[in-house]
Structure 1
Amino acid sequence: MYVAEPFTELSHHCPHKDAPPASTIFLPYVHPFTTASVPLVKTTIGDVDIEGVNIDMPIDTGSTGVLIGAPLLPTLDRKEGTPTYHFLTSSKILYNGRLVNLTVQFHGSNGSYAKARVPVFVVDKSWICPWYDPKVHTLECPTGPDGEEATLRDTSQITYMGVGFGRNKPGNGQPGAVPKANPFLNIESINGRAFRCGSGRAGWTISTKGVHIGLTNRNTRGFRFTKLARGVTYEEDTRDWAMPKMSFSVDGRWATPGHGLVDTGVAQMYIRAEGNFPIPVVKVKDPNRHGSDKEVDRVRQGTNIAVQFPLLGGRAATYAFVVGEEGPMTPSFVAPGKQTPPPFLNTGRAFLHGYSIAFDAVRGRFGFRPTSNSKLTAAGRR
């Protein structure tokens, strides 16, 4: 069983007494942050027997684990690794490949660097599979309900890095989304010095400016936190935590509370209520040229949506917007899910224009720090 270390000063264990503790590293984005595109950080992927490959890696808080197309690692033995699969419910993409232990090196500001060693998902095949059911299907994309063949994707273009948590529940299509696959939680060294020799703890903060890997008192200043429930594999790894609690309202009516996800991997919002909760929905032409449907559901423009993440101390991270109206935290569109329990809301990455976020894998907390576009409020439905 992996037991997370407490957030205490550990520098007395360091082999170099005169060296500053290796507690955190800041990774600036390759390009300025926008809602329109996934944020990227600079990495090098390789190993002792594998030539390192420089990759501008997308950061996705809606999944867990590193995915790289097999053609990008030409010196890797095609037979090496353990077979596995991964399905992204938001984009309907299925990955089929192998898990191979590799080193991920992050390139930070001012020449700094950090190294993590994790099982990397080397993708041999990938499909856009709209009819895939993660509760039924596994490694392969089946034919569609009318005999449609799935769209095969170019694996030489696949690079993705999931750094999220709570995505490994049965039926989510991500059986390997566990802490040991998260490169941000498995840092071995920063600037050549052992990470555990520092005063940091496992976790991260993400903002519109970049990423801090390794939490300290300094880089978590101003955050207010909510406590997380234990995750599916907590008994094997105490860094596994469930998604945070959340509630939302539609046109002033509050739904039953559920779970929320701040997902840097998508620009849109996904919203799911239960029972007969009213969400105004319209049909629009499917903008996805690879989609299997002529029309798709969208939450009607002009709909008022409010979101609240309850925090410790009676506070809450809240925001609201009108679907279709411009605003810094407004998603590109809002897609409704099938109304089944439990309620769920994926904010999309526009949320970062209002709040920086932090994940504390040791204490099991998720934090919010407001920007000029938002503010913390008293908890309670409004």
Structure 2
Amino acid sequence: MFARLSQALLIGSGLLFGAGLPALAQERPDYEPYREGLFLRYLNAEPGEIDGVPRIGLSFGGRPLRAELDSGSTGIVVASEFVPGFEQMPSQGPAKLTYTSSGRVMVGQWVVTPVSLVGREGASVTTQPLPVMVVTEVQCLDYARECRPTMSPRNIAMVGIGFAREGDKQSQSTPDKNPLLHVTGGEGRRRQGYILSPEGVHIGLTAANTRGAFRYVKLARRPDGADWASLPACIALGGSTLPACGSVLVDTGVSVMYMTVPASQAAGAEGTLPPGTQVAISIGEEGSAFPLYSFAVGDGSPMAPSAVHLRVADNAPPFVNTSYHLLNGFDVLYDGEGGYVGFRPH
């Protein structure tokens, strides 16, 4: 399969979504019965592209905060300054969440409250009461890239909508804390899930917003059954026909790519990849993966990350975090009920 993939690579960054390859059989979910969906435009949306971590309004009943929409974590995380009287709210106990990309460790309490998410034109959705992490302290890992410890955290507002994050120092980041999977209201049937696009997010999967050439992957369940497993993927560097297969994270919370590959794939690179190195990402299990996209490091193309942080390890599973730049080539769907991820090329 990767011999054919190497022949199909485009010059620079490009879509490889089945380029020059026969379509592979795929299981397609049926969203025809569903009508409850709403589009929230990012507060910092630019026409047709994404060039920064998306922002969305977050409200606990008052004026909305300007929060980051992060598909690389799960759960709403907000500084205690923004939740006056949280001590009197229903609590689920101590909270702790680590952002491994920055090395910041959030410490606080899980309080239970409904929240509203607000888009650029004022459209909004409201959730049922769910756990929200109120941050009272920020700690730092020893290897933190960006972190300043404090007992008086400020300006923290994150809406985490990712899945399968429990294994990345986020054991408390379970689906019950994902606000986009607990939206209320409407008069019809609702399919809890979302579609990320360059300009905004569709909340609720419907017959209308799932039209088009989505390519789907059916996720496995985590062994404990509490969440879906991570999205399987394969990484090929420098035109390699022997990819490293592990998992991929579509992370709207970062501009850079984080990658872990074995030494055989790194070809002597350490810490980062040399400019011009070809990177090709395919989606699915080894042997049945389909090519998604490729880029050359430093080519400045829309889907290429601003930088690549490389970890070379033979004792760790291969992994790639795409950064938000992937949304310049694809809309990305997550079905939290059925366990599907879908990619629709622009």
Q: Same fold (TM over 0.5)?
A: yes
**Structure 1: unaligned runs, 5 residues or longer:** 1-5, 11-20, 47-51, 133-149, 283-296, 372-382
Checking the alignment, whether the CA contact within 8 Å between 1:255 and 1:273 is kept in structure 2 is no
Q: Shift of the alpha carbon at 1:324?
A: 1.3
* Corresponding residue of 1:70: 80
* Corresponding residue of 2:235: 248
TM-score, length-scaled by structure 1: 0.74
Letter in 2 for 1:92: G
Partners of 1:356 and 1:78 in 2: how far apart? 40
* SS in structure 2 at match of 1:168: coil
Q: Within 5 Å, which residues of 2 pair with 1:145-160?
A: 151-153=148-150, 155-160=153-158
* Corresponding residue of 2:203: 213
Partners of 1:113 and 1:32 in 2: how far apart? 16
Checking the alignment, whether the CA contact within 8 Å between 2:104 and 2:139 is kept in structure 1 is yes
Measured against aligned partners, the alpha-carbon deviations of 1:112-169 in whole angstroms (never above 9, x if no partner) come to 432112200000001332437xxxxxxxxxxxxxxxxx73146221110110101112
Q: Shift of the alpha carbon at 1:301?
A: 1.6
* SS in structure 1 at match of 2:244: coil
Letter in 1 for 2:77: L
Q: Within 5 Å, which residues of 2 pair with 1:1-382?
A: 9=33, 23-33=36-46, 36-46=51-61, 52-77=62-87, 81=91, 82-108=93-119, 111-116=122-127, 117-131=129-143, 151-153=148-150, 155-169=153-167, 172-189=168-185, 193=186, 197-222=187-212, 223-234=214-225, 237=226, 240-253=227-240, 254-274=242-262, 276-281=264-269, 297-310=271-284, 316-339=290-313, 340-371=315-346
**Structure 2: unaligned runs, 5 residues or longer:** 1-29
* Corresponding residue of 2:27: none
Q: Shift of the alpha carbon at 1:25?
A: 1.2
Partners of 1:110 and 1:31 in 2: how far apart? 11
Percentage of identical aligned residues? 31
Letter in 1 for 2:39: F
1:307–1:331 distance in 2 versus 1, CA, 3 Å: same
Letter in 1 for 2:79: G
Partners of 1:44 and 1:186 in 2: how far apart? 15
- Which structure's relative contact order is higher, taking Cα pairs within 8 Å and 6+ residues apart? 2
1:184–1:69 distance in 2 versus 1, CA, 3 Å: same
Q: Shift of the alpha carbon at 1:74?
A: 2.3
Checking the alignment, whether the CA contact within 8 Å between 1:26 and 1:109 is kept in structure 2 is no
For the aligned residue pairs, the C-alpha RMSD in angstroms reads 2.4
Partners of 2:189 and 2:276 in 1: how far apart? 48
1:130–1:329 distance in 2 versus 1, CA, 3 Å: farther
Partners of 1:258 and 1:247 in 2: how far apart? 6
Measured against aligned partners, the alpha-carbon deviations of 1:188-221 in whole angstroms (never above 9, x if no partner) come to 22xxx3xxx4233010000002001110111111
Partners of 2:52 and 2:121 in 1: how far apart? 25
Letter in 1 for 2:136: D
Partners of 1:368 and 1:67 in 2: how far apart? 27
* Corresponding residue of 1:378: none
1:9–1:352 distance in 2 versus 1, CA, 3 Å: closer
Partners of 1:109 and 1:131 in 2: how far apart? 37
Letter in 2 for 1:160: M
The structure having more radius of gyration, on CA atoms, is 1
Checking the alignment, whether the CA contact within 8 Å between 1:8 and 1:199 is kept in structure 2 is no
Letter in 2 for 1:281: A
Letter in 1 for 2:266: P
Checking the alignment, whether the CA contact within 8 Å between 1:62 and 1:164 is kept in structure 2 is yes
Letter in 2 for 1:61: S
1:368–1:58 distance in 2 versus 1, CA, 3 Å: same
* SS in structure 2 at match of 1:77: helix
Measured against aligned partners, the alpha-carbon deviations of 1:25-58 in whole angstroms (never above 9, x if no partner) come to 1100101256552101122124xxxxx3421221
